[in-house]
Structure 1
């Protein structure tokens, strides 16, 4: 019996799914220039290095984002050109999507959406005023290309191998199985993350409650149908409050979450399997045996060379980002050494907080917020930090604002926010001004 055997093989949806899987898997790993091991490893390393450079480097942000978009467009445009010439297999089309839907690409798309909605974005603040519209347009175009390619895979007959049509139900089943194989290796880390999040949620219950009230009071209540606004406003305020308290008080949680996303993406790229053609041959053989179909002996792809030109070229692409990361590590070696020295104390403070509730790191965040005179929340986060570690956050100067933000600040009129705390609890404070429960000067 195969590892991919499906239950209830007499179900028509299952049969359609098995037929589609047999068609796709027979072509997986057959194109080493597209799905070779060096190509997959190089793609992962480049994306990871670019994420580090975007987060920590002050000089390489624009260059890193440009390289990321160049990498994505090179794969997608090449796939579409091969598709037009009818020289693209379904397996290669699947891999073109998988290799470009990286955590960093999704974050770029998320930052672009926030930019369109005129909300603050850490990435575009780092980019400054350098062709923001161009990056936004290119990011949204990537999303459109993903959707078009995915629709063509399942509902069009334009590939070299003609796979049987599958129903919408079978399509969702295939997507579920692909997601399952990607998340299975990160399941342990996900469980740890959820358990720690729940633990911090209980420990920071009062902090989250106060932060929730503060966020809710910043909203402008509707004149009519306030009961319609109540639930989404309550849910949004609660989610933002716990996110701010936990990730700002324990920044390592955010770093751990990013690591999990890269583990999931690495699993979807099958980085743990050097030879994809042999791996998928075993899957196809198992499926054929389950369905009493004849099997063929394994044959390596024609002209396959693990050290061929395409593989070596893909490997060399990863060297420039790796060199930039090494240079960044050397430049910031003093900060890294200081972090390593302070990590044991930070770790111990985190353990003490979990066990006793003392040494609450959120209090230090509130102190920095009061010192900086900020009523809002930080939208910047610092990975590579241990539990309870302090971080320095400076005030935004005029040079850190983009031109659009400067114009908006100069032309905008002050808004009188009214409190919506009447939804939850009575208050004796004025409803015409913003009440901050963290202001140490309040009476």
Structure 2
């Protein structure tokens, strides 16, 4: 049976929110709709634009959050902000895009790869600092709303039970509007788990083969913990990498939930809350003068122009890529349907991913054959020794000195000796050559245009 005190505090707090006369400059329909559309447009720009546009878009979102927070804090300090507007300001700041920024910052601090920070260039550290400050300010601002009583009206007595009730009500709205995408995600996740079960087991075995430092005690607990963690990671990797459209469905679920808390479907939000609370709606003078699409609303909604223009420009620049993607969609959708219904392994996208990974791993190392330069002085010998024994940054290499067939033994046998160096295949790899070695990229090997032929590189599988 429900606690009567909880019901009384919850209903009292809800009536307080319903009777709060919201500012049209903050919760007007055009303002709410423009904030929602602008957030979606900025998310598109961050996902597919170049590095400079990504930096600019992140700065725009952070600036918007800090401006809303500072303005709301000043209004609360002057007791010129009703509790409903304070709630809405927090809802406006904690958007899906802002939560993605905070999550990416968490991964960046843990030194995990993420799409956002890989494209921020030299602005990684300052962005991480600002987003960490923003996250802390969210928590402080949320606590101020409920426990400071710094509001325009003293009729709302903020209590812990009222705070819990409001959080539960907001969560219920989010789940209601995002229930269909969430149900689809769960349904397809179960289907893909069944179809990819063998792939998940193979990926789990691959994770378990990775060497780890064993615990001195409770090694059985470590093995059980590692097995469960590896299975969850393998399941996530196989399903999400094979069927990336689930990410799109997840994003849709987040934005639908946010749209519900913004009350996008409601034009006059004051009248809507009065209908929910079953209290008589008596418009005030400010309410009667309120125009949902008036001059003030349209002026506040002008922020939507630049993001929409950016998305249109991006779509035009990537029109060929978009058309190519659209042409491939019918076949891709058909393959997905056949795989779900029949489990046909020839249409299993994970098989292609595994094959590409196998090819990539086979190309991770290359062998470079370079000559050993004959030296006759101590300084030259030291120079060659430094260049031949130096290691690449954060990379290990193995040296295997051999004599190639057909090489001449002139100059004391030094000119016919070559070093075979096995290096990781990496874009950052740079070969350190002796300073007195003239590299000719067009030479074809020993015996052509001099003793010191060009470098011969081949894959080691």
The structure carrying a bigger strand percent of its residues is: 2
1:301 to 264, 284, 287: 287
1:352 aligns with 2:363: no
* 2:446 aligned partner: none
User: SS of 2:393's equivalent?
Assistant: helix
2:393 matches 1:410: yes
Query: Is residue 252 of structure 1 aligned with residue 245 of structure 2?
Result: yes
Q: Distance in 2 between matches of 1:256 and 1:375?
A: 35
* Equivalent residue for 2:81, pick from 83, 88, 101: 88
**What's the Cα RMSD here?**
2.5
1:171: Cα distance to partner? 2.8
Residues 1:203 and 2:195 are matched in the alignment: yes
Contact kept in structure 2, 1:17 and 1:166, CA below 8 Å: no
Classify 1:327/1:139 alpha carbon distance in 2 versus 1 (closer, same or farther; 3 Å). Answer: same
Q: How does 1:43-442 map to 2 (within 5 A)?
A: 43-58=35-50, 59-129=52-122, 131-165=123-157, 167-218=159-210, 220-224=212-216, 225-284=218-277, 286=278, 288=279, 295=280, 297-299=282-284, 301=287, 303-358=289-344, 359-373=347-361, 410-411=393-394
Please say which of residues 359-368 and 209-218 is displaced more in the overlay: 209-218
Q: 1:374 to 1:254 in 2, by over 3 A?
A: farther
Mark the runs of 5 or more structure 1 residues left unpaired by the alignment. 1-6, 289-294, 377-408, 415-440
Give secondary structure in 2 for the equivalent of 1:410: coil
Q: In structure 2, how many angstroms separate the alpha carbons of the residues matched to 1:112 and 1:122?
A: 11
Shift of 1:228: 4.1
1:422 is matched with: none
Distance 2:350 2:308 in 1: 35
Give the CA deviation at 1:96: 1.0
2:30/2:297 contact within 8 Å kept:
yes
Residue 413 of structure 1: how far off its partner (Å): 7.6
Q: 1:114 to 1:296 in 2, by over 3 A?
A: closer
Give the Cα separation in 2 of the matches to 1:68 and 1:296: 36
How far residue 242 of structure 1 moved from its aligned partner, in angstroms, is 1.5
- Structure with larger Rg: 2
TM-score by length of 2: 0.74
Normalising by structure 1, report the TM-score: 0.77
Q: How many matched pairs?
A: 367
Structure 2: stretches of 5+ with no match in the other structure: 365-391, 398-459
Render the CA deviation track for 1:178-212: whole Å, top value 9, x for unaligned. 11112212212211111011100111011111222
Q: Which has the higher contact order (CA 8 A, sep 6+)?
A: 1
